[in-house]
């Protein structure tokens, strides 16, 4: 461990790249929760970093999540909806800056990876299965990882039925005219490219910061059948505020009652699954 929280965070950033590199070797597709959880398992939180902030997130976990933006800026990490991916430059950085001090200095100074640096070689012996290693992780880390994985599963539960319904409609459209027509779909409307839920719980979804419509973790999914944008999240009980932001920007956003740049939406949640539905026809959220 480092001498202070800042050093610990930098050590964990290096661990993030190490974990993702190992994922390349093993062919694993790692989501944000798994990567962050493993990095914290390798560089455990100290007492100060284990303190819970509002929303139940450990201080050190939030610091690491925010700091990963430095890896993205360096071109070493790509964050996507399907998971985090290390670039070839990021893999080479683990070789060129293997020493933690050199790694931190290079990251802070924006030092490029020296030309000719080779990709790291996979070890001859396989690493122990990740699930077993996770048993030694601090409780807060395991909880964060489980929440991230559960949210991903919930999103999949929302998207999968939509995809199934779309396939069914296409099959019905291709059938002979004598067969019964498929049920009429909801009125279509010109949709924006992307819609985000930007609020005070984005970090619980895995985003680096709250009120951040630019991050992948804040984006909703369009249901082609009912023309509603949806986001599912497993959140602890509490009161939450949010707005709907269009195309990853605050330039166009809608608050309560569909008012442009209006007051925040407020929700008092009992805990568990929360599904937010947005209708771009009314610019407002839909209950139910």
Identify the pLDDT of residue 282.
93
Average pLDDT taken over every residue of the chain: 82
- The number of beta carbons lying within 10 Å of the beta carbon of residue 266 is 12
Question: pLDDT for 184-235, tens place per residue?
Answer: 555 667 899 999 999 999 999 999 999 999 999 999 999 989 999 999 988 8
Check whether 264 has a pLDDT greater than 70: yes
Check whether 133 has a pLDDT greater than 50: no
Identify the pLDDT of residue 233.
87
Contact assessment for residue 5 and residue 14, using Cβ atoms and an 8 Å cutoff: no
Comparing 41 with 131, which gets the higher pLDDT?
Answer: 41
Confidence of residue 135 (pLDDT cuts 50, 70, 90): very low
Nearest Cα neighbor of 206 from 54, 22, 33 is 33
Q: CATH second-level architecture of 149-286?
A: Sandwich (2.60)
End-to-end CA distance of the chain: 48
Handedness of CA 22, 24, 29, 30 (dihedral sign): positive
Contact assessment for residue 231 and residue 220, using Cβ atoms and an 8 Å cutoff: yes
Check whether 109 has a pLDDT greater than 90: yes
Confidence of residue 31 (pLDDT cuts 50, 70, 90): confident
Longest dimension (CA), the chain: 76
Identify the pLDDT of residue 20.
94
Contact assessment for residue 74 and residue 83, using Cβ atoms and an 8 Å cutoff: no
Confidence of residue 87 (pLDDT cuts 50, 70, 90): very high
- Rounded mean pLDDT, 251-261: 90
Check whether 166 has a pLDDT greater than 60: no
**Cα–Cα distance measured from residue 123 to residue 134, given in angstroms and rounded to the nearest whole number:** 20
- The number of beta carbons lying within 10 Å of the beta carbon of residue 204 is 22
Question: pLDDT for 39-72, tens place per residue?
Answer: 999 999 999 988 887 656 788 888 898 889 899 8
**Cα–Cα distance measured from residue 231 to residue 157, given in angstroms and rounded to the nearest whole number:** 11
Hey, what are 211's tokens? Answer: 């009120």
β-sheet bridge partners, residue 233: 274
- Rounded mean pLDDT, 137-164: 56
Identify the pLDDT of residue 61.
85
Confidence of residue 81 (pLDDT cuts 50, 70, 90): low
Contact assessment for residue 59 and residue 53, using Cβ atoms and an 8 Å cutoff: yes
Domain ranges of the chain: 5-137, 149-286
Identify the pLDDT of residue 137.
45
Comparing 245 with 52, which gets the higher pLDDT?
Answer: 245
Least confidently predicted of 98-102, 113-117, 154-158: 154-158
- 167-184 b/e with 16+ CB inside 10 Å = b? eeeeeeeeeeeeeeeeee
* Range from 91-95, 120-124, 233-237 that averages highest in pLDDT: 91-95
Identify the pLDDT of residue 122.
87
Hey, what are 193's tokens? Answer: 């490219």
């Amino acid at each position: 461990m480092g001498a202070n929280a800042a050093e610990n965070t930098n050590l964990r950033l290096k661990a993030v790249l190490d974990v993702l590199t190992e994922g390349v070797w093993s062919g694993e597709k790692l989501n944000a929760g798994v990567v962050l959880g493993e990095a914290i398992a390798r560089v455990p939180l100290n007492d100060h970093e284990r303190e819970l902030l509002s929303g139940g997130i450990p201080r050190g976990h939030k610091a690491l999540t925010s700091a990963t933006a430095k890896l993205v800026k360096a071109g070493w990490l790509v964050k996507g909806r399907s998971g985090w991916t290390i670039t070839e430059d990021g893999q080479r950085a683990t070789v060129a800056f293997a020493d933690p001090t050199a790694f931190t200095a290079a990251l802070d100074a924006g030092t490029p990876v020296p030309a000719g640096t080779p990709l790291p070689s996979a070890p001859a012996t396989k690493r122990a299965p990740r699930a077993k290693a996770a048993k030694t992780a601090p409780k807060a880390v395991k909880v964060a990882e489980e929440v991230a994985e559960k949210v991903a599963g919930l999103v999949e539960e929302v998207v999968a039925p939509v995809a199934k319904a779309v396939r069914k409609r296409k099959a019905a459209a291709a059938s002979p005219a004598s067969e019964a027509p498929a049920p009429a779909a909801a009125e279509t409307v010109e949709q924006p490219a992307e819609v985000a839920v930007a609020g005070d719980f984005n970090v619980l979804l895995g985003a680096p910061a709250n009120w951040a419509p630019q991050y992948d973790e804040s984006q909703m999914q369009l249901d082609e059948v009912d023309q509603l944008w949806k986001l599912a999240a497993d959140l602890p009980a509490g009161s939450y505020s949010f707005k709907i932001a269009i195309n990853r920007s605050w330039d166009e956003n809608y608050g309560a009652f569909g008012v442009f740049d209006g007051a925040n939406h407020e929700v008092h949640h009992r805990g568990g699954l929360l599904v937010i539905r947005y209708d771009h026809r009314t610019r407002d959220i839909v209950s139910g």
